[in-house]
Amino acid sequence: AQSVTQLDSQVPVFEEAPVELRCNYSSSVSVYLFWYVQYPNQGLQLLLKYLSGSTLVKGINGFEAEFNKSQTSFHLRKPSVHISDTAEYFCAVSALNTGFQKLVFGTGTRLLVSP
């Protein structure tokens, strides 16, 4: 079975500062990796995904993430955050043994951006 760990439940940061949201996963088979964002009263929106190829993945709204197989990590980064980035961020994996159909999510990290 797969699992995802997001150690930081909440990350406070000032506007225009850089941010990193951490994600570690566990799986004995090949995985795909995802970051989703949830704004208040809205559905989950895909930020970016890693399927294969380059380990540095760029997504929407200036976010990027780096897949590190040896450390089983997929941390999300943004060099300069905006107030509008305040939201909850979920890391997720899908695995070969489920046909990559079932997403397994972490518990989420709430990003709080203040002026």
Partner 1 sequence: GAGVSQSPRYKVTKRGQDVALRCDPISGHVSLYWYRQALGQGPEFLTYFNYEAQQDKSGLPNDRFSAERPEGSISTLTIQRTEQRDSAMYRCASSKGVTSGGASDTQYFGPGTRLTVL
CB-neighbour burial class of residue 73 (10 A; exposed 0-12, middle 13-18, buried 19+): middle
For partner 1, give the closer residue by CB, 70 or 101: 101
Closest approach, Cβ 28 to partner 1, in A, equals 18
Interface stretch with partner 1, choices 21-29, 54-62, 71-79, 92-100 (CB under 8 A): 92-100
- Told to check if 44 binds partner 1 by CB under 8 A, we report yes
What is the pairing mode between strands 87-95 and 64-68? unpaired
- Told to check if 11 binds partner 1 by CB under 8 A, we report no
Query: Which amino acid is located at 32 in the chain?
Result: Y
How many other CB atoms are there within 10 angstroms of residue 48's CB atom? 19
- Told to check if 65 binds partner 1 by CB under 8 A, we report no
- Find the binder of partner 1 among 17, 46, 56, 60 (CB under 8 A): 46
For partner 1, give the closer residue by CB, 43 or 115: 43
- Told to check if 53 binds partner 1 by CB under 8 A, we report no
For partner 1, give the closer residue by CB, 15 or 100: 100
Residue 53 CB contacts under 8 Å (≥ 6 apart), including other chains = none
Per residue, the 3-state secondary structure of 52-104, as one string, reads CCCCEEECHHHCEEEEECCCCEEEEEECCCCHHHCEEEEEEEEEHHHCCCCCE
Closest approach, Cβ 112 to partner 1, in A, equals 16
